[in-house]
Amino acid sequence: MSIAADNIRTLYSFPNRLGGARLSDAAWHQVNALAHAGVQVLACPAGLKKPLAAGITVRPTMDWGKLRFPYRFLGKMRALALHDRIVARRLKSLKGTVDVVHTYAVGSLETLITAKRMGIPTVLERSNAHTRFAFEQVNREANRLGITLPPTDEYYCRADLLAREEAEYAATDYILCPSDFVVKTFLDQGFPRHKLLRHFNGVDATIFFPSATPRNGGRKFTMLFAGVCAVRKGVHFALEAWLNSPASRDGEFIIVGNALPEYMQKLSSMLSHPSVRVLGHVQDLPELMRNSDILVLPSIEEGFGLVITEAMASGCVPLASEACTEICEHMKTGLRHPIGNVDALSQHITLLYENAELLARLRADALSVIPQVTWGAVGVKVGQVYRRIVAESCGRALNQATA
């Protein structure tokens, strides 16, 4: 089994279509970055929303040419299981040609078991905190607010989904975690530290970049929230903190993203404040970030918070909870507050509203770290993770052979 940098061969199984929104877009960037970093990638997604870079072998499981198999025909869980079964069957015929298998939650249990039988090391990428922790935290906060999560909500407690994911956590050799917060949620559930490996999500600096023109000193101080307007993202904390800050007197708080209707109804009195604008889904997020002073992400549960690096790259200073990525470093590249601490968040908003010099320094320092968190850097980092995994697997095999 080879461990040379340019010879690592990975089967990358993604149970949805690469190149769509949110996680699908991040995975698309990661696959391209891995190939650019010298990893030989066999991508097995459900399908493609947009093409991958030349040199990447692509074998979709749910697309055949121009024919796409809609998940709704089987139902989400059955479709994910079918994807998993197809990839596992393919893997059986690839003995000696795959060094590491990279998978995602819910669509990988059979693949992980097959890889283990074949002696191929596996890594399961976890895009958020441990599922049990996430369910408990979000539902506790929803109950506190008097909100009933609909069965379609991704954080609606589903025993079958939790059982499936926990079986995958047990079956994989390693879990790839995008932040120290995610690592802690797994440690708290009793996972051994050596099984939890770190990586991070990148930013596309060709899309997210600062404005080339100086900021107009006479314009409104602007705070931006970008993401799903749901309980776990803590928009209610952001609204309360904003309205408690003097920034709400002559500033503007812009909220963009799809929303849970009952949640927005619960927040209607704060949302009706004249300083608050709700835009829903938008196409011009990079431009909104370039024109905003700060981005707020007061999540109670998070994986990474990709909007944080996107904001930093756009010249927008992040104000994040401690559930978000540590790339937002307090008083260096942004401001961090304890989860659910409205007073601390309000003080941070006020501080940057009143201190233009500090705002400018944080903005400059945030921009300076962006070269370290591009998707190109992600490819190098995950490639290093692969090499470590393969080296450790080789070491175990050698020890067993000489025992």
- DSSP-assigned letters across all residues of 233-294: GTHHHHHHHHHTSTHHHH-EEEEES-B-HHHHHHTHHHHTSTTEEEEES-S-HHHHHHT-SE
Q: How far is CA 366 from CA 147, 178, 311, 333, in A?
A: 36, 19, 9, 4
Per-residue confidence (pLDDT) for residue 403, from 0 to 100: 58
Task: Indicate if 240 and 299 belong to the same structural domain.
Answer: yes
Q: How far is CA 177 from CA 184, 199, 318, 380, in A?
A: 10, 6, 21, 16
Question: φ, ψ for residue 393 (rounded to 5)?
Answer: -65, -40
Per-residue confidence (pLDDT) for residue 91, from 0 to 100: 98
Task: Indicate if 45 and 189 belong to the same structural domain.
Answer: yes
Per-residue confidence (pLDDT) for residue 6, from 0 to 100: 57
The DSSP code for 61 is S
Task: Indicate if 190 and 256 belong to the same structural domain.
Answer: no
Give the domain extent around 333. 222-372
| Position 68 pLDDT exceeds 80 | no
260 versus 31: which is more confidently predicted?
Answer: 31
Q: Tell me how crowded residue 211 is: count the other CB atoms within 10 A of its CB.
A: 12
111 and 42 Cβ atoms separated by less than 8 Å: no
| 214 lies in some domain | no
Whose CA is closest to 245, among 137, 337, 330? 337
User: Residue 60 is encoded by which pair of tokens?
Assistant: 């979709």
Per-residue confidence (pLDDT) for residue 70, from 0 to 100: 73
Q: What is the mean pLDDT of residues 294-319?
A: 96
| Position 72 pLDDT exceeds 80 | no
Residue 98 backbone zone (phi > 0: left; psi -120 to 50: alpha; other: beta): beta
| 235 lies in some domain | yes
Whose CA is closest to 137, among 324, 303, 301, 262? 301
Task: Indicate if 239 and 265 belong to the same structural domain.
Answer: yes
Give the model's confidence band at 2: pLDDT under 50 very low, under 70 low, under 90 confident, else very high: very low
| Position 242 pLDDT exceeds 50 | yes
Give the model's confidence band at 212: pLDDT under 50 very low, under 70 low, under 90 confident, else very high: confident
33 and 202 Cβ atoms separated by less than 8 Å: yes
| Position 398 pLDDT exceeds 60 | no
| 337 lies in some domain | yes
Please state, in angstroms and rounded to a whole number, the distance separating the CA atoms of residues 136 and 157.
8
Task: Indicate if 226 and 359 belong to the same structural domain.
Answer: yes
CATH code for the domain of 197: 3.40.50.2000
Give the model's confidence band at 4: pLDDT under 50 very low, under 70 low, under 90 confident, else very high: very low
Cβ-Cβ contacts under 8 Å for 372 (sequence gap 6 or more): none
pLDDT in tens, 174-195: 999 999 999 999 999 999 999 9
Task: Indicate if 331 and 386 belong to the same structural domain.
Answer: no
| 210 lies in some domain | no
Give the model's confidence band at 90: pLDDT under 50 very low, under 70 low, under 90 confident, else very high: very high
| Position 402 pLDDT exceeds 90 | no
Task: Indicate if 226 and 161 belong to the same structural domain.
Answer: no
The count of domains in the chain is 2
Q: Is 210 helix (H, G, I), strand (E, B) or coil?
A: coil
Cβ-Cβ contacts under 8 Å for 308 (sequence gap 6 or more): 295, 297, 318, 320, 324, 325, 327, 328, 334
Task: Indicate if 378 and 327 belong to the same structural domain.
Answer: no
What's the mean pLDDT when you consider all of the chain? 93
- Bridge partners of residue 336, in order along the sequence: 320
Per-residue confidence (pLDDT) for residue 219, from 0 to 100: 83
Task: Indicate if 94 and 51 belong to the same structural domain.
Answer: yes
| Position 5 pLDDT exceeds 90 | no
DSSP conformation letters of 122-167: EEEE-SSS-HHHHHHHHHHHHHHHT-PPPTTSTTS--HHHHHHHHH
| Position 351 pLDDT exceeds 90 | yes
pLDDT in tens, 104-128: 999 999 999 999 999 999 999 999 9
135-155: burial string, b at 16+ Cβ within 10 Å, e else: bebbbebbeeeebebeeebeb
pLDDT in tens, 280-303: 999 999 999 999 999 999 999 999
- Bridge partners of residue 253, in order along the sequence: 223, 276
Per-residue confidence (pLDDT) for residue 136, from 0 to 100: 96
Task: Provide the H-helix boundaries in 277-370.
Answer: 285-290, 306-313, 342-354, 356-369
299 and 231 Cβ atoms separated by less than 8 Å: no
Per-residue confidence (pLDDT) for residue 21, from 0 to 100: 87
Per-residue confidence (pLDDT) for residue 1, from 0 to 100: 35
Share of the chain above pLDDT 90, in %: 86
Please state, in angstroms and rounded to a whole number, the distance separating the CA atoms of residues 247 and 349.
7
Task: Indicate if 367 and 388 belong to the same structural domain.
Answer: no
271 versus 212: which is more confidently predicted?
Answer: 271
Task: Indicate if 141 and 34 belong to the same structural domain.
Answer: yes
- What is the reported pTM? 0.93
Task: Indicate if 360 and 388 belong to the same structural domain.
Answer: no
